[in-house]
Each structure stands twice: as C-alpha cells, then as structure tokens.
Amino acid sequence: MKDKIRQFLESDLLEQYLLDATSAEDSARVEQYIAMYPEVRDTYLELQENLEAYAKLHAVKAPDGLRERILHRVRKERAGRRRFLQYAVAASIAAIFAVGASFWFYNQNMNLRQENDLVNNKIRVLEADMKEQLEDVRNQFIVLNNPGTRKFMVNGNQKARELKAIAYVNPVKKLSYINVRNLPNLPEDKDYQMWAEVNGEMVNLGVIRNFEDKEKLMALPYGEKSLSYITIEPKGGNTTPTVQNIVADFSY
C-alpha cells in the first residue's frame, strides 16, 4: 500500500489536478486518493498553499498603461464609427449632388477596419505572450514541487569561483530549469552566456545576469545526456561558445 501511495505522489497527477489539467478519469482518481489517504491529502493541501504563494510571487503583470491604451483605442473606434454613420446618412441625402463622396466614405470605412484589425492583432499577441508566461510558471511549479525532480548544484571553476547555481531536472515531465544564484562581476565589455548541448546539437540560451529575484528560474532544453555550459563572452553574447572561457558546466 505504501508503494502505491509513493508511486502516486511521485507522479504529477496532484500538480495537474491543482492546475485543472487532468482528464475526468484522472480527476476522479485524485479525489479518491485525497479522500482515502491522509498522506495524499496533506501533500495536496501543501501543494495548494505552495501554488497560491508561487502564483502571487510570480504574477504576470500586464505592461503599464496597456489597459488605458486599449480602452482609448476602443473609444476612438466607437467615436469613429458614430461619425461614419452620420456621414453615411448625410451622404445618402446628398448622393444626387455628390456621387464622388461615396468613394471617400469607403476609404474612411477601410481605415476604421484597418485600425480595428491592428488593435485586435495587438490583443492577440498580448494574450499569446501571457499564455506562454503562465505556461512557464506552471512548469516551474511542477518542477519545484514534484518528488521526481532531481537537483544539481552548479559551481564555477577557477575563473568564476563565486558562481553558484542550482539545476532542476524532471525526467517524467521532461522539464529542465536552472536557478542562477550568483555571478561574479565582469568587465563592462563582457557578459556571461548560457549554452546547452542537447542530443549532439548546441543551443544558445542567451546572456545571463544576476537577477534581483534570487528565486527566478531559467528554462533549459530537455534531452537525454544533455550538457550545459556557462561561458564568458563579449558584451551582448556570441554566436558560438568560447571553449577556453567556460566557467561552469554540468550534465543532466
């Protein structure tokens, strides 16, 4: 029985249930375990508290002024449509005197449609960006709270002794993250850069710097027998890693 409970807790069903991402069958199974086994119920309550705290800590904030800009654009569109309707009525009355005016009104309508499309596109881009950020927060929560996640301490070599980081790898969900806790200072013309060698392919993960939020996680590509590096590169980063400037490496 204990093995059965342990296997259940090591799966990600509790986390998925909390995030409303389970099927009806899995939801019924989770609710049964929560009701029957105190260990599962305690873990569920703890995860629920962790999720609430984590969501508050990493809440995705919309860009400043975005709501006001969208509302202003919508009001402008409505006012424009009202003006267009007024123009259209007037044009109908005066059509026999100014046939050419219909072409002008057509252009006005096309401009309004273009502005409307522009606003809608911006909203879609924002929604996609926020969805991606929320998905990343969800994955971070799973990695940090799942018992199957492995943790690796990463220390710098002689070129960066003060470098400290923690890598988190979950082979079940195939998710990998790194938390860079500290980076030694560099000259102004240099930057640290992260790389990952996944399935024989080198992936550039970009420049990394000390974060104000020491709990911030950076996603790593997951792969079998993956190897990551941190190098010192010219300001702004490099297209290929400078091997002689590797300051830390770890496999996962």
DSSP conformational letter for 239? S
* pLDDT for 223: 75
- Predicted confidence band of residue 242 (pLDDT cuts 50, 70, 90): very high
* pLDDT for 230: 93
Q: Using CA atoms, how far apart are residues 45 and 34, in angstroms rounded to an integer? A: 10
- Of 2-11, 62-71, 175-184, which range is least confident? 62-71
Q: Using CA atoms, how far apart are residues 180 and 170, in angstroms rounded to an integer? A: 18
* pLDDT for 80: 54
**Alpha-carbon distance values, 112 to 79, 85, 101, 104, 235 (Å):** 11, 12, 17, 13, 45
> Residue 165: which region, alpha, beta or left (left: phi > 0; alpha: psi -120 to 50)?
beta
CA angle centred on 168, ends 163 and 172, rounded to 5°: 160
State pLDDT tens for residues 111-132. 667 777 777 777 777 777 777 7
* pLDDT for 213: 63
Residue 29, Cβ neighbours under 10 Å: how many?
A: 15
- Predicted confidence band of residue 49 (pLDDT cuts 50, 70, 90): confident
